[in-house]
Amino acid sequence: MVHAAIALAILGLAVGVAFRLKVLLPILALLLVVSILFSLFRGSSFLDAALTIMAAQSIVQGGYFLGLIARALFTAVHRTRPIV
């Protein structure tokens, strides 16, 4: 489970650095379906399934946010400044 969480965080970070919101939304929809199937195959209760879905979505969105911050910092550092 820890490896899956790290992979989801890296996925969110990569999407945040490289893409805009239009790419994140289909990834979150796919992650929702995969999380539901994972919970069904494990035979989880409704509460466990809901917690699995929320945790996976939160990890990806947190990684996406960190990716946006990294992209903004990278852009700010490499922006050319006019010579006065």
- How sure is the predictor about 66, in pLDDT bands with cuts at 50, 70 and 90? very high
Q: What is d(CA 17, CA 5) in angstroms, rounded to the nearest whole number?
A: 18
pLDDT at site 52: 87
Q: What is the pLDDT of residues 24-51, one digit of tens each?
A: 889 889 999 999 999 999 888 889 889 9
Q: Which own/partner contact pairs does 50-59 have at CB distance under 8 Å and 24+ positions apart?
A: 55/5, 56/8, 56/31, 57/28, 57/31, 57/32, 59/5, 59/8, 59/9, 59/12
Mean pLDDT for the stretch of residues 53-57? 91
pLDDT at residue number 5: 86
Instruction: Determine how many CB atoms are found less than 10 A away from the CB of residue 2.
Output: 6
- Cα-flanking dihedrals φ and ψ of residue 78, to 5°? -95, 10
- Percentage of the residues of the chain whose pLDDT score is greater than 90: 29
At 32 the pLDDT is 92
Distance CA 63, CA 13 (A): 4
